[in-house]
Structure formats: structure tokens, C-alpha cells
A and B are shown apart, each in its own frame.
Chain A
Amino acid sequence: MLVFLYSFCDADYALPQSKLPMNNTPEMPSWAATAVVTTVLAAAYFIAGKLALLLAIPPGYATAVWPSSGIALAGLLLYGYRCWPGVWVGSFLVNLGIAFDASSAQALASSLAVAGGIAGGAALQAGASAWLVKRWVGFPSPLTRADDVLRFFALGALAGCLVNATIGPLVLLVAGTLPAANWLNTAFTWWVGDVIGILTFAPLVLIALGKPRALWRKRIAGVALPLVAVFAVMTVWFGYTSALEDGAQRSRFEERARTIADAVEGQSERHLEVLNSFVMLFEIHQQISRADFAAFAEQALARHSNIRAREWIPRVQDSKRAAFEREARRHVDPGYHIREGQAGGLVAAATRTEYFPVYYVAPTTDNLSALGFDLGSEAVRAAALQRARTSRQTAASSRLVLVQERHQGYGVLVVAPVWGSRAPASELLGYAAAVFQIDDLFAAAIKLAATEGIAVRLIDESASADDQLLLGTAGAQAGTDASPMRWSHHIAMADRTWRIEFAPTPQYLSAQDTTRPWTAFTLGLLFTGLLGIGLLVQSGHVAATEEAVAERTAALADANARLAERERFLRLVFEASPSAMIMVDGNGRIVMANAQTEILFGYTGSELVGQPIEMLMPERYRSKHVILRDKFGGAQSARTTGVGQDLYGLRKDGSEFPVEIGLNPVRTDKGRFVVSAIVDISERKQAKALRQAVEALERSNLDLQRFAYIASHDLQTPMRNIASFAGLLRDTYADKLDPQANDWIRRIVESIKQLQILIRDLLDYSRVDSQAHPFELLPMRSLVEDAKRLLESAIRNSAAEVSCGELPALMGDRSQLVQLMLNLIGNAIKYRGGAPPRIHVSAERQGGEWRFAVRDNGIGIAPKYHEKIFDIFQRLHDQRVYPGTGIGLALCRRVVHRHGGNIRVESEVGQGSTFYFTIPASTETEL
């Protein structure tokens, strides 16, 4: 059921609503669910109300705690304003139970209206309180913050309860049930009751049903249980003190009653005693004169003034009647007759065997009308007479309506038989009688009782049921009296048993000081309520703390996890470092070494740890290192050693290898350590050596080239001179010299020409690398066109056809590649056979390079020369047939090599030649 209820908590909407409590908020739960909740709320309200009434202090409406208001507030907060009918119905039923009066239509309507009005007030109060809470505290709220809790109670309880504390008593006032004087008191009581009801019970309901469940659930132990326990204790204590108080009240009452009863009993006993003394008087004197009787009676009456009458009742036999009457007329009263009652008056008595007339009576003044009255003529009196005669004891009659009849109320006749002393005590002389007016008899006691607000009833138990009531004061009711405080006592009245009953009147009850237990209970409940607040605040604080702790713990765990993660990572870094890393303590002992150290030096980790660091270096360094180490211990910053020096590490197998060491001192709280990174630089050294060798080679190469360049350049001048003068000689002196001389001069000039070509070619060859230009993107096709242009005359003269296919663009040196094409195509033209040269230049992509082909239909080259022709100055033919220096192909090879490619030839004698050379494709050469 609780689960069912949880699901309908509209506790997920945290926005406080500033609507009037009667508006229904549009929400998801179905109306059926709302109806269920409303019904449960009504039932809870009703049950709590009924239980609370058990703790009520009379009269009726005021209770020190009204749990229903706490339930109502919590209910509306949890399930919404729309549940207000539940509060109304519950309150209506409870109040109806108190005030229900179906005695008349008007009373019924009034009680319904009163109950309805109070219920309306309760519902309005619940709604108003809920609204206040939602507006100023917000709901749902876990009520963890102190000011939230305090505001909740200040608004929801202190302020909100003013509503019904005003409305309820007002309704009662209007209905007339509540005297105006008590209005403020009652209102205050209501207010206190409602406040404490909310203080104690709203938290309980919230703990049972509030959300977030986790948080409220925690409060079961910390708040709900103590609260319930303290409340129970308070209730029990109240019950106890109430009971004590009740008991005390009862004792007090009984005491009062007893006192009064005693007084009454005492009085009646005294009266009987007086009667007895009368009896004795008569028995002794046998005959008493009227004066004597009067005197005696006077005396007695003086002491007991509330006896109605004292009488001497002689037995008069009928035969003696007339004489008696004459006697009586003489001594007692002139108008004396024996009379009897009839139709409200007194007439002469009818004739009977015996008469028992009233002869003497005192006090005379009030009782004149009784004189002569035959007691035997009246049934009740006669019965008493008879009983007394038979039992020979005093007898009392049942209740009488007195003849004297001045007062309302009953009287009793008590008769005591007087026997003649002469006879053997068998002759009845008459009776001594006393008439008690009950009211008068016990007037004092009754007045006393009345002032104290105790209702008294005097019952004649010996009489028949209808005649039993002798006396009943105002407020005394028969039988089923609701008041538990009743006390009765038996009084012996002659031969009858009387019962005197005491009961407290409402005035008596209200006059009792019940404020003490009520105040105590209220304070106790107030304490409970405040305890509730305190526990809520504290538990809220605890919850907040717990939450903070949980957050902190989570954060810590998180941080720890991250730390552990980081540590693992760093450890990994250390272990996986490509350099050997060693940590050494202040004494030079190895503390930590990573995996690379093990690999580098050939030891296992366990062989290293704890050993002196010197074990890793050749013997010759060790002692010096120890000294250095001590010195370095004081250093603050990192150092690199081994750079530029010959530092060696010693492997386990005894071999040495060059190392570079970086050192860094670290200060930890465990002392000073040195972390060193060791790198095997043997490869680096080799590489360095290699590089140096290469550099040397390159330098010498460059030198050679420069040498070649300068040499060829400087050779030009003398060569030119020789050629010029030889030419001059030939031109100027040709006719002055003989043919021999001319011939020799001719040979000189031609040799010079050859020399010049050779030198020029050598110069070109040497320039391939020294006069190299940076590479640029070149369209090979245009380079071929350039070469063709340069060979224009040769092409024309030989009727050559030079064609080319699709040629790419690539990175290269323009002039050199032009030279390349020039040489290859030039060769193709030069080394032609009989047919006009047909030359084709093509290119083909092969992986990352282009393979060019220059195909001709020339004389071809025998395979055994395919390598040789690329050597410098190698010629296969006679200078006169095919002029040339033999440098062309060597130059081509140099150029191709410079571009990162290769050159070769495919040819057969008489089948033309195809020269293949490769140059890397442009995209791949770029880095």
C-alpha cells in the first residue's frame, strides 16, 4: 500500500506553487488513484482523530495533540491539494462523533453543521499550510537544511494552524456550544493541539512516504523511531499522570462524598436517638402531659431543628375513641378529631378497630393540621406502624408526601413502638414518631454538596422501585450516568436501608484543576515536537554531511584511481623508456633500473638493484667516478656527461660500448638520489665516423671537380693563343712557306681544335655537380624541343626525324637535362647508318620512377661494349669517321646519377640502339 502511495507522490515537481490551495493542479495520476489516496487520507484522519480523543481532556473538544492535522498537512503536501476532500470527510466524521445529537431535527442539523464547519476549517487549514510550505520552503524538499525545517514548521504549523484554531471555535461559538468567554482559551488549545499534531506527526508521515526515499528512509531510525518512542512515552506518561490525577480526583470526590454521607448518617442516627429517648420517656412515664411533651420536644428540637415533627401516637381502640377525642379536646386542642385523609383534605376518620392519631406534635405551629390524623389510615404509615409493632423495633416508612405539605420533596415517618411496662411488654401503648422532611433533614449536607457541585441522590432500597427516590439534587441522573466517578454509601434508617449516591456534576468536573496534567502533557508534546524538529535538522545535517562525505569519498576514490592510473603510466614510461634509466641513491647503489638498462648491460633487474653503479663501467673509471659522484651529489641541476668524451659502459659479458649519460639529482623525503639516463652511442659514433668519411669523400670530390674546372678553364687561354697564332701563321705566311711547313701548320691547328673540344667536354663533365642548379619541375617535352633546336643544323643535314611520345614533367636541373637529351639525340644522329636517322623519345612510368627511352636506327653497339661506352673518354670509333671526345655518354651517366636514376643501353650491331635512363617521378622525390 505504501508502495502504491509512493507512486502518486507528486514529489517530482519541485517548483513551489503559488496557487490557492483549492485549485487542482493538473497532473498525471488518474482520478481513480486520487480517489484512493483521498479515501486513505480520510480514514487516517478519522482514526488518528479518534485515537487522539482518547487523550482528550474533558470537556470533549480540547486535545493536547491533534495528529490528524499533521497527517492532513503531510497528505496534501505529498499528494497534492486535490486530496482535500479526504481531510474534510475525516474531520467531519470525527467531529460528528463528538457532537452528534439526534435528539431533535434542529439538534441534528446543528450537529451536522458544526461538524461540517469544523471539517471545512480543517481542510482549509491543511490546504493553507501546504500552500505556505510549498511557497516558502518548496516541496518536495528533503528538509535537510536547518532553515528549511524551521520554516516548514513555522509556516506549516505555527502559522497554518491559526486557520482552524480560528474557524473551529468560531463555528462552535455560532452554534452555541461554546460560551464566548471560553472562546480564546479554546482557540488557543486547538492551536496548540494542531501545532503539536503537525510537529509530531507530519514528520512521521513524511518519513514514511516522502521522496527521495533514500534520504527519508534513513530518518526512520534517526527521527521517526525516537519521535514515536518519545511520543509513546509522553502518552504513557500522560496516561499515567492522568490516571493518577483521575485517581486523585476520585479520592477527593469520595472523600467529599464520604464526608457528606457521614454527616447525613450521623444526623439520621441522632434523630433516631432522639426518638429512642422519646420512647424511653414514654415508657417510663406512661403518661405524659402535653406540656411535658412540649418541653421535651422543645429541647430536642432545639438541638435538631430539622426534624419536621415529633409526635406521640397513642393507640386508641375504637371503643375508647369518643373518650379519647373528648380528652384530647380538653388537653390538646379544642378542635381535635381523629381524622383521615380523603381527596386532598382531612375528614373524620372512619370507624376502625384501632386508631393511631397524632396526639402530641411538636413543633406545634407548623403541624397543627396533623393533629388527630390517624396514621393507620394511610397505607404507608400504617405499614410502618405495623412493622414496628411486629418487630418491636423502630421502623421507618417509605417515602411520604407529607400532610403538612409546605415543601416539595418527600418525608419519612419513623415510628418507635412504646410498650406498656405493666403488661408483660405486650401491650402497645402507642408510638413515638418523628417525621423527617428529607430535604430539611439533610439540607446542610446537601447544600454543602451542591456548592461543591456534587449531585446527591438518596434512595430507599427497601422500598419498591417506584418509591425509591427520596432525594435527588439537580444534575443527578438515574442509572446510566456517563460519569465514572460515583460513590454510594448505605445508611441504616431504622428497619430500612437507605443508599446515598454521589456523582460529580459537570460543574464539579470543570472546577477540577485539570490544567496541570494538560499543561504537562502539552509541554511534553511540545518537547516531542521540538525534538522532532531537532532530529530532522540533525538528520538533514547528517544527510547533507553524508552526501558531502559520499561525494568527497567518490571524488577521492576518483582522484586515487587517477593517481594510480598516473602512477602506472609513469611507471610504464620509466620501464618502457628507450633510454636506459637508473636511479642511484646517495651511496651510489642502484635503486631502480628500467628494462632498457637490463637489455643494454645484459643484467637482470635483480642483479642490478643494490649494486654500486660502478659495476656498469670499466675498471679504469671506477675510482674516479666515486669521487665525481660524491661531488655531484651536491649539484642541483642536471648534467650530461660523455658528450665529446670517450665514456664507456661495461656489459655483463665484459664488452665495452660507448655511452652518453645524462644525470639529474632529485631530492625526496627519503634522501638524495640521482636519476641517470644512459644511451648507447656506438651507433651514433659509427654513424658519425661514416658521416665524416662521407664528408671527406665529398670534399675530395668537390676538390677534384673544382680542380677539373679550374684546370680546364685555365687551359683555355694558352690553347687559344696557340690556335690563334697558328692560324695567323697559316693565313699570313702560307705563300711564304713550303708545303711541308704548311702541312705541319695545318696539323698543329687541327690538333689544337681537338684539344679545345676535349677541354670543353672535360669542362662540361666536371661542371655537372659544381655548376648544378637546384631542381625544378620541368616538362620533359620542352627540354627535348630545346635539344632539337640546338641540333637543328645536324638534323637538317642528316634529314633526321626526331619524334617523342607522351613525356612527363619531373624535378630536375634544366641545363643538365637538356645536355642529356642533346647528347643522346646528337649521338643518335651522329652514329647513323645509311638511312636517315629515325629517333623516338618515349617515357614509361615504372613504380616510383619514369623510364625514358631514346631509340634510334643507327649503327648499333655490340653488347660487350654496353658498359664501356659510359666510361669517360672511351670511344669505339675513329675520330675521323665519327668525331667526338668520348665524354658524351659519361656526361649523360653523371647527369642521370645526379638525378637519382640509372642509364643503360640495349643494342645490337646494325640494329639501332635504345638508351634507357630512369629519373624518379616528381611526387615521390619530394620529402
Chain B
Amino acid sequence: MSIQRTGNRPAQILLVEDNDNDAELTRISFSKVKFAVNLSHVENGEECMAFLRKQGKYTDAPDPDLILLDLNMPRMGGQEVLREIAADPNLRRLPVIILTTSDAHKDVLDAYNLRCSSYIVKPIDFENFSKVIKGIAEYWFTLVVLPTEPRV
């Protein structure tokens, strides 16, 4: 068992997903994972930016260690969010994982061009989906040094 690098606090994950069901499945998947995770969920891009900037109702929002971003969202889509995050000097450090159904090459390129950290296609069935979530957690919380790690 790997040691969670976030130490004695749970990992803060921001899920940006417009589909409620997908959000639920994601939550379930994270719950099965052996890491302490606090999953925040916003439904669209504007909410995401507000959350990150601790605006409006998100004044007390925690700093996310990881952002899971869907692409196809109404009003403000994933690419726009990425752009905004990259443009913001305070936010650009945050790792963003695109988690989407689209495997279109163009979407992939665009996302990486906008400096996302990873691009993951949501598997169709739940079993694989759980595995993906598990993999994400293991990678990002044990292997990788997060920019938001507490400094010892």
C-alpha cells in the first residue's frame, strides 16, 4: 500500500461534470478507493471557475489538488475552462485531467495544447470505469508530487 502524499489531510478533487449520473458513478468509484478523498462537484465551467477563485458561494471552497474536467458542457466547455486556468497565474499550476466520453483526436490535441495534464476516455462500462478511477488515484496521490502538497 502506497502512502498518500497528501499526508494527514484528504485529497481535494474537483469534478467538473454536467451529467449527474456520471458524477454519481464517479463518487461511487472514489468511495471504493483506499485513499482519503474529498470530492467536490460542479456542473459547468462557470461554477468551476467560481469554485477555483473562491467566488460567490464558494468562498470557503478548498484548494483542489486535482481537477477532473469533462469537455462537453453547456455554456462554458472544457476547453474554455482549460484556457482560463492556464491564463490565471494562480491556477495554472493545478493539474487538470480531462475525463470525457469523446475519443476524437481533435479533442485530445486541443486539450493537450491547452496544457491539460492527462486525457482519459471514460470507459463505457462501470467496471472499467472503477479501474480508471483507481488508477488515477494511485498515480496522482502516491506517485506524483502535487503542487499543493503540504510542505514539510
Interfacial residues, chain A to chain B (CB-CB below 8 A): 713, 716-721, 723-725, 727-728, 756
A723→B124 contact, CB < 8 A: yes
Q: Does any Cβ of A come within 8 Å of B58's Cβ?
A: no
CB contacts under 8 Å to A, within B97-149, are 101-102, 122, 124-127, 129
How far in angstroms is the closest Cβ of chain A from B98?
A: 15
B25→A728 contact, CB < 8 A: yes
Instruction: Determine the distance from Cα of A720 to Cα of B19 in the docked complex, in whole angstroms.
Output: 11
Q: Which residue of B lies closest to A728 (CB)?
A: B126
Report which of B22, B28, B101 forms a contact with A728, defined as CB distance below 8 A.
Answer: B28
Point out the residues of chain B lying under 8 angstroms from A756, CB to CB. Answer: 124
Q: Does any Cβ of A come within 8 Å of B8's Cβ?
A: no
A724→B19 contact, CB < 8 A: no
Instruction: Determine the distance from Cα of A716 to Cα of B124 in the docked complex, in whole angstroms.
Output: 8
Report which of A713, A716, A719, A724 forms a contact with B25, defined as CB distance below 8 A.
Answer: A724
Instruction: Determine the distance from Cα of A894 to Cα of B125 in the docked complex, in whole angstroms.
Output: 30
Report which of A713, A716, A725, A727 forms a contact with B21, defined as CB distance below 8 A.
Answer: A725
B126→A727 contact, CB < 8 A: yes
Report which of B101, B102, B125 forms a contact with A724, defined as CB distance below 8 A.
Answer: B125
Report which of B101, B102, B127 forms a contact with A720, defined as CB distance below 8 A.
Answer: B101
CB contacts under 8 Å to A, within B1-56, are 19, 21-22, 25, 28
Point out the residues of chain A lying under 8 angstroms from B21, CB to CB. Answer: 718, 721, 724-725
Please give 9 more A-B residue pairs, beta carbons under 8 A apart, in addition to A720-B125, A756-B124. Answer: A713-B101, A717-B22, A719-B124, A723-B125, A723-B126, A724-B125, A724-B126, A727-B126, A727-B127
Point out the residues of chain A lying under 8 angstroms from B127, CB to CB. Answer: 727
Instruction: Determine the distance from Cα of A719 to Cα of B125 in the docked complex, in whole angstroms.
Output: 9
How far in angstroms is the closest Cβ of chain B from A298?
A: 179
13 contacts across the A-B interface (CB closer than 8 A): A713-B101, A716-B101, A716-B124, A717-B22, A720-B22, A720-B101, A720-B125, A721-B19, A721-B22, A723-B125, A725-B21, A728-B28, A728-B126
Point out the residues of chain B lying under 8 angstroms from A716, CB to CB. Answer: 101, 124
Closest 6 CB pairs of A and B: A724-B126, A721-B21, A727-B126, A724-B25, A720-B124, A716-B101
Report which of B28, B101, B125, B129 forms a contact with A717, defined as CB distance below 8 A.
Answer: B101
Point out the residues of chain B lying under 8 angstroms from A718, CB to CB. Answer: 21
Instruction: Determine the distance from Cα of A719 to Cα of B126 in the docked complex, in whole angstroms.
Output: 11
Point out the residues of chain A lying under 8 angstroms from B122, CB to CB. Answer: 720
Instruction: Determine the distance from Cα of A724 to Cα of B29 in the docked complex, in whole angstroms.
Output: 11
How far in angstroms is the closest Cβ of chain B from A531?
A: 107
Point out the residues of chain B lying under 8 angstroms from A719, CB to CB. Answer: 124
How far in angstroms is the closest Cβ of chain A from B109?
A: 15
Interfacial residues, chain B to chain A (CB-CB below 8 A): 19, 21-22, 25, 28, 101-102, 122, 124-127, 129
Q: Which residue of A lies closest to B24 (CB)?
A: A725
Point out the residues of chain A lying under 8 angstroms from B124, CB to CB. Answer: 716, 719-720, 723, 756
Give the one of B25, B122, B125, B129 with max A CB within 10 A.
B125
Instruction: Determine the distance from Cα of A718 to Cα of B18 in the docked complex, in whole angstroms.
Output: 12
Instruction: Determine the distance from Cα of A857 to Cα of B95 in the docked complex, in whole angstroms.
Output: 54
Instruction: Determine the distance from Cα of A756 to Cα of B122 in the docked complex, in whole angstroms.
Output: 14
How far in angstroms is the closest Cβ of chain B from A27?
A: 95
How far in angstroms is the closest Cβ of chain A from B41?
A: 16
Point out the residues of chain A lying under 8 angstroms from B129, CB to CB. Answer: 724
Instruction: Determine the distance from Cα of A716 to Cα of B21 in the docked complex, in whole angstroms.
Output: 13
Q: Which residue of A lies closest to B126 (CB)?
A: A724
Point out the residues of chain B lying under 8 angstroms from A725, CB to CB. Answer: 21, 25, 126
Instruction: Determine the distance from Cα of A719 to Cα of B123 in the docked complex, in whole angstroms.
Output: 12
Instruction: Determine the distance from Cα of A839 to Cα of B129 in the docked complex, in whole angstroms.
Output: 37
Instruction: Determine the distance from Cα of A191 to Cα of B127 in the docked complex, in whole angstroms.
Output: 141
Give the one of A720, A725, A756 with max B CB within 10 A.
A720
Point out the residues of chain A lying under 8 angstroms from B101, CB to CB. Answer: 713, 716-717, 720
Instruction: Determine the distance from Cα of A391 to Cα of B124 in the docked complex, in whole angstroms.
Output: 197
Point out the residues of chain B lying under 8 angstroms from A713, CB to CB. Answer: 101-102
Q: Which residue of B lies closest to A723 (CB)?
A: B125
Q: Which residue of B lies closest to A729 (CB)?
A: B126
Instruction: Determine the distance from Cα of A718 to Cα of B125 in the docked complex, in whole angstroms.
Output: 12
How far in angstroms is the closest Cβ of chain B from A761?
A: 14
Point out the residues of chain A lying under 8 angstroms from B19, CB to CB. Answer: 717, 721
Q: Which residue of A lies closest to B21 (CB)?
A: A721
Instruction: Determine the distance from Cα of A720 to Cα of B102 in the docked complex, in whole angstroms.
Output: 13
Q: Which residue of A lies closest to B100 (CB)?
A: A717
Q: Which residue of A lies closest to B25 (CB)?
A: A724
Point out the residues of chain B lying under 8 angstroms from A721, CB to CB. Answer: 19, 21-22, 25
Point out the residues of chain A lying under 8 angstroms from B126, CB to CB. Answer: 723-725, 727-728
How far in angstroms is the closest Cβ of chain B from A205?
A: 105
Q: Which residue of B lies closest to A718 (CB)?
A: B21
Instruction: Determine the distance from Cα of A713 to Cα of B104 in the docked complex, in whole angstroms.
Output: 11
How far in angstroms is the closest Cβ of chain A from B89?
A: 35
Instruction: Determine the distance from Cα of A723 to Cα of B21 in the docked complex, in whole angstroms.
Output: 11
How far in angstroms is the closest Cβ of chain B from A747?
A: 16
How far in angstroms is the closest Cβ of chain A from B50?
A: 25
How far in angstroms is the closest Cβ of chain A from B49?
A: 24
How far in angstroms is the closest Cβ of chain A from B73?
A: 12
Instruction: Determine the distance from Cα of A863 to Cα of B55 in the docked complex, in whole angstroms.
Output: 71
Instruction: Determine the distance from Cα of A728 to Cα of B27 in the docked complex, in whole angstroms.
Output: 12
Instruction: Determine the distance from Cα of A727 to Cα of B21 in the docked complex, in whole angstroms.
Output: 13
How far in angstroms is the closest Cβ of chain B from A741?
A: 18
Q: Which residue of A lies closest to B105 (CB)?
A: A771
